Amino acid sequence: MRVAVTTPTGNVGRHVVAMLVRAGVRPRVLLREPARLDPALRGQVDAFQVDQYDADAVVAATKGVDVLFWVDPPSGSPDPLADYASATSSVVRAVTDNHIGRVVFQSSVGAEKRHGAGEIDGLANTEVALDALGIDVTHLRCGYFFTNLELQLPALRAGLLQVNLPLDFPMAWVAPRDIAEVATTRLLSSEWSGRCVRAVHGPADLTWRQVAAILTAATCRQIDVEEISDDAMRGLLRQAGMADGQVEAVLAMSTGLREDFVPEQPRTVESTTPTALGGWVYDHLRRQIADLD
Ligand SMILES: NC(=O)c1ccc[n+]([C@@H]2O[C@H](COP(=O)([O-])OP(=O)(O)OC[C@H]3O[C@@H](n4cnc5c(N)ncnc54)[C@H](OP(=O)(O)O)[C@@H]3O)[C@@H](O)[C@H]2O)c1
């Protein structure tokens, strides 16, 4: 079975590659810069230099592949949904031209809404496009990644997170490594077929108030959280250098899911994964915050 992995240096992809290698598989990895691969894994994979927005390159790199782990790369452009559409075209071309029969796709809670959730609409479009191909496909509807906190290091150091969600609004928070474990087991298993949706929810739904308490305990420094208005958040995102299109695509991921949204997949034993936020913060974030002192 030939397995290909996209974003092999990314938050989830890096763990997928390592898990496949531990399972005795030599994965094909698609990445822009092979030098960024973990040196310990370089001899264990076949690396193809690919920009995922270049459909021809993705098709060439996935010739002969049986199973594909596909991640739409995070967009840094002023038009994120155009980037997601471009990534969708690439995966559709690869699957069609190379007759790839099985795909595991990294999607998000909220993709079931299809419209009105900003960047998540881009993932919804990829889901719909993959569904139309009639292949075996698993959409992993993931919760909010712990690693998103790494994008907030200055605020964490200052001891104040600002969010445009009610502080008692619960969300599924998940470790990317746990997502990789679900992805890898799906990639290696032949026990499923057709269209499947699997939620990956982490161990617990957490409110921002609970997250602040966990951060405080795990870092031994007071970290508070404050609810700000959507307009204030717009201002912060613009100050951080985002173009208007990016600002709205980021903002709508909260505004689109905070009212009248009931996830299609409830939390179950299958969607609940083990890694707790407190231990992850202690291991991964505590020193990064302290290093900024
Ligand atoms: N963050 C969340 O809470 C969350 C939740 C659910 C779903 N998602 C979805 O998960 C995906 C991103 O996950 P993430 O934020 O954790 O990021 P990530 O997987 O860490 O993504 C960064 C990786 O993407 C690679 N990359 C970027 N642009 C590329 C391109 N044009 N071609 C090839 N590789 C490219 C980067 O490689 P280089 O080394 O070349 O830069 C890096 O390895 C998005 O589709 C997002 O919508 C995120």
pLDDT digits (tens, 9 = 90+) for 267-282: 999 999 999 999 999 9
Among protein residues, the one with the nearest Cα to ligand 1's atom 8 is 108
Do the beta carbons of residue 212 and residue 277 sit within 8 Å? no
Q: Is 9 in the pocket of ligand 1 (CB under 6 A)?
A: yes
Q: Is 2 in the pocket of ligand 1 (CB under 6 A)?
A: no
What is the 222 CA–ligand 1 centroid distance (Å)? 30
Decide: residue 52, CB within 10 A, 0-12 exposed, 13-18 middle, 19+ buried: buried
Q: How far apart are CA 99 and CA 94, in angstroms?
A: 8
Q: Is 84 in the pocket of ligand 1 (CB under 6 A)?
A: no
Q: Is 10 in the pocket of ligand 1 (CB under 6 A)?
A: yes
* Confidence check: pLDDT of 92 > 60: yes
Atom of ligand 1 nearest to the CA of 11: 20
Measuring CA to CA, how many Å separate 288 from each of 151, 220, 281? 11, 13, 10
Q: Is 106 in the pocket of ligand 1 (CB under 6 A)?
A: yes
List residues bridging with 80 in a β-sheet.
Answer: none
pLDDT at 288: 87
pLDDT band at 15 (very low <50, low <70, confident <90, very high): very high
pLDDT digits (tens, 9 = 90+) for 33-86: 999 999 999 999 999 999 999 999 999 999 999 999 999 999 889 999 999 999
Cβ-Cβ contacts under 8 Å for 188 (sequence gap 6 or more): 1, 3, 20, 23, 25
Atom of ligand 1 nearest to the CA of 108: 6
Q: Which two tokens stand for residue 262?
A: 């009931």
pLDDT digits (tens, 9 = 90+) for 239-259: 999 999 999 999 999 999 998
What is the 74 CA–ligand 1 centroid distance (Å)? 4
pLDDT at 260: 86
* Confidence check: pLDDT of 205 > 80: yes
Q: Is 52 in the pocket of ligand 1 (CB under 6 A)?
A: yes
Do the beta carbons of residue 46 and residue 29 sit within 8 Å? yes
DSSP for 165-219? Answer: S-TT--EEEE-HHHHHHHHHHHHH--S--SEEEEEE--SEEE-HHHHHHHHHHHH
Q: Is 142 in the pocket of ligand 1 (CB under 6 A)?
A: yes
pLDDT at 72: 98
pLDDT digits (tens, 9 = 90+) for 226-237: 999 999 999 999
SS3 at position 233 = helix
pLDDT at 292: 53
What is the 51 CA–ligand 1 centroid distance (Å)? 12
pLDDT digits (tens, 9 = 90+) for 96-115: 999 999 999 999 999 999 99
pLDDT at 36: 96
Residue type, 275: T
Atom of ligand 1 nearest to the CA of 30: 33
Structurally, what CATH architecture does the domain formed by 3-145+175-200 represent?
Answer: 3-Layer(aba) Sandwich (3.40)
pLDDT band at 183 (very low <50, low <70, confident <90, very high): very high
Q: Is 12 in the pocket of ligand 1 (CB under 6 A)?
A: yes
* Confidence check: pLDDT of 6 > 90: yes
Q: Residues 141-162: what's their mean pLDDT?
A: 96
pLDDT at 293: 53
Q: Residues 1-15: what's their mean pLDDT?
A: 97
What is the 262 CA–ligand 1 centroid distance (Å)? 26
Q: Provide, rounded to the nearest whole percent, the portion of the chain with pLDDT above 70.
A: 99
Q: Residues 14-33: what's their mean pLDDT?
A: 98
Average pLDDT taken over every residue of the chain: 96
pLDDT at 290: 82
